[in-house]
Structure 1
């Protein structure tokens, strides 16, 4: 419960903002505090829908001066629901969604509240894209600050490898630009270090031409679940040897009961690979031949499409408001022991939305040294995630138990840490393991830019002098 003086001070904050301040009991409060993961049910002290960077500065100053928790919300997709926090002041950037494309310079600038659908739509008009993730409804800020693994990672690197600069509101209320020329240490930390160092109100990324005028070849290839072991052994050898214009993530899924999947496959458990080819189409037949010809697929769904269509293909299947429980690891290899675990728990998929995915981190991303950015897992392999998902809160225990048991058996085959965007509330040791040798440098940069740990509602990296 907020102290009376703080509640009274919110009146002054509300009057100072160009945007809207929403408090408990006011119209729209419950919708404003809701995030993508409906398993998160937190009650902030106030939610500031900021209209511009000046609003963000006012909120940072307010939280610092009153000693209250501060949470930052972009797209609201965070696995742990860290865009909201009990009794905190939430900086909600969702009204700040301007995107500007400079086609001649091949770059795009997106405000901190943008979703990737905003960016993809703008860059596609110029036949270009910047590396992002696998869902268009994901927020630009959260995905970027954690690293950004996606369809274009093998060819163009992670999202952070394409970040050119960032406008950042710091803990002391000042606004700076971080880039390879300014605040270089901050720029290093932002590229994978999460929301620990400030509120990023604008990102500028490099863009790349892909496919034929932005048209790629992509889609799923589905196999019977009984073929999983053979598919995984083939896939683990194939992916590192593929041209970097082709990437594909592997999942254990229940085939959705909806078009475009054939009705006879609805509800069937499957090993799926979703491919994305961004190279010239006159070479596509030869590059995609191994993908089309391996095994006895239930469905080969490869086709030409604009890149935003592939990027948004699963948004309708996973709308906001589902129950989610996440567990994750990075894997340098898909070992035979790991395959045995995948088979065991793939057969036990508890609900139609529950799934396991392996996302490649190799090619261009693996050529960058581990200490070049805060994102450390650069030696090739996969970012793995196990997610129990269902619309019914009554199944929260079921999906949580399945994901936990799956992860506990699979973890010994992992590299030790995880892609931080997939981490839940798992403790400091897991955060440290996810940054490898970069962790100590991150604590020193945190000490410089946020010595009082104002920005701690995140996968927190404490200042060097406060480390446990």
Structure 2
């Protein structure tokens, strides 16, 4: 029996009309041509695809949302295990649990949970894959209320490289379960995740805009608010960005560099307004504050695929005025107009209170400096990449040294160790050795097997 006959899904190769569309990932800089794309419809398809790759000696890429800035979801000349057809979400409202297939996006989860007044922390872009975001930790708008996405994982179904299907939870394969909380896709193909859900009846979105020169004053007020008595329900960020062509953006800021405060509040509009009174007192040029379903908030800031992307991040335990001034100075070098943005993200709240010993040493961080470069013209590549790198370098004297890896591209082995912590990395090496001793799943923030020297 042929491999095609064994699979419920499809195999797409270079000669197929859908090939170019199927190989495209979110980052338009990535232009790789896999030998074959396995569009899987079941875990059995995943088993078959892994066996095929092993037989042919092909490199393996695993794709869910395809949002990796480094383009880890596609390979040059190898096999892509494309999970997007495996997108089912089942909600048990009585138990407050959602079972999510490995190819689902956060839009799938958010909209399945909404009718029950339930939610869990997802990414800030609705088209992001659930599995990739969660396995790397899972930062999102609701993290101060409900913790990271991985904090809410109850179990995971994993297909290992040798074709076994295993379940990881606190009681079953607990070492693998621990590794999946930040260790990424290093240990197998995750085909299902079960999440704890939280009641969430009402959410409020706020977008406040000022001219860019107001950025330092607004950011200092934002810092003082979040380091003061801000409720855990308040999330969001302080950002430099291109003013979008929306009714709530003043015409003089459309298409121009602007400073914005993004407010995502897990509660009523009145409470949201009360919590950001100090920002409203700074007289924004416009302030759009409105109740909005969480699923709509999640998709409100989506960017379409195809832009050229370069992201990075630095973590700060404190945010002195000097660091704020450096971030402001760097805003002048952003690629504008474009969807590029520099967002300063507050952590803390439930994220910092989580007591589980996951391989996430950065969760006590207070602030994340996160440049996201997005542009269309290849001629802007050098400028966009230099802007993100230079911004991170400028604030490094104030940085903790660790990093949330999902906010970065491929920045080398030392950066991976920094993201996981040296002691955690050594422990993760042992898990990697047990589940993927030949490092066949290396298109990720890679953890090499313990017996494999790292170059």
TM range (shorter): over 0.9
Question: Over residues 441-466 of structure 1, what are the superposed CA-to-partner deviations in whole Å (9 max), with x where a residue is unaligned?
Answer: 11111111111111111110011121
- Residue number in structure 1 paired with 2:285: 298
Q: CA deviation at 1:418?
A: 2.0
- Residue number in structure 2 paired with 1:251: 239
Matched, 1:279 2:267: yes
Matched, 1:463 2:453: no
- Residue number in structure 1 paired with 2:157: 167
CA 1:36–1:102: 2 relative to 1, 3 Å:
same
**Are 1:50 and 1:95, in contact at CA under 8 Å, matched by a contact in 2?**
yes
**Alignment counterpart, residue 342 of structure 1, candidates 307, 318, 327:** 327
Alpha-carbon distance in 2 for matches of 1:88, 1:379: 39
- Residue number in structure 2 paired with 1:8: none
Alpha-carbon distance in 1 for matches of 2:369, 2:46: 34
Q: Tell me, which stretches of 5 or more residues in structure 2 are unaligned? A: none
**4+ aligned runs moved over 6 Å, structure 1:** none
Matched, 1:14 2:4: yes
Question: Over residues 383-411 of structure 1, what are the superposed CA-to-partner deviations in whole Å (9 max), with x where a residue is unaligned?
Answer: 33212211233322332232232232233
**Are 1:33 and 1:47, in contact at CA under 8 Å, matched by a contact in 2?**
yes
- Residue number in structure 2 paired with 1:124: 114
Q: CA deviation at 1:280?
A: 5.2
**Alignment counterpart, residue 436 of structure 2, candidates 430, 434, 450:** 450
RMSD: 1.7
Matched, 1:230 2:220: no
Alpha-carbon distance in 2 for matches of 1:159, 1:79: 19
Aligned residues: 451
Q: Tell me, which stretches of 5 or more residues in structure 1 are unaligned? A: 1-10
- Residue number in structure 2 paired with 1:199: 189
Matched, 1:363 2:353: no
Alpha-carbon distance in 2 for matches of 1:238, 1:284: 13
- Residue number in structure 2 paired with 1:99: 89
CA 1:432–1:244: 2 relative to 1, 3 Å:
same
**Alignment counterpart, residue 401 of structure 2, candidates 399, 416, 438:** 416
- Residue number in structure 1 paired with 2:306: 321
**Are 1:417 and 1:433, in contact at CA under 8 Å, matched by a contact in 2?**
yes
- Residue number in structure 2 paired with 1:177: 167
Alpha-carbon distance in 1 for matches of 2:91, 2:120: 11
- Residue number in structure 1 paired with 2:419: 434
**Alignment counterpart, residue 37 of structure 1, candidates 27, 32, 50:** 27
More deviation, 302-311/382-391: 382-391
Question: Over residues 168-206 of structure 1, what are the superposed CA-to-partner deviations in whole Å (9 max), with x where a residue is unaligned?
Answer: 101221001111111111111101111101100111111
Alpha-carbon distance in 1 for matches of 2:272, 2:409: 39
SS in 1 for 2:84: coil
Question: Over residues 415-451 of structure 1, what are the superposed CA-to-partner deviations in whole Å (9 max), with x where a residue is unaligned?
Answer: 2132111221211011111111321111111111111
TM-score, L = length of structure 1: 0.92
Alpha-carbon distance in 1 for matches of 2:388, 2:156: 36
Alpha-carbon distance in 1 for matches of 2:170, 2:279: 39
Q: CA deviation at 1:322?
A: 0.8
Matched, 1:398 2:386: no
TM-score, L = length of structure 2: 0.95
**Are 2:144 and 2:348, in contact at CA under 8 Å, matched by a contact in 1?**
yes
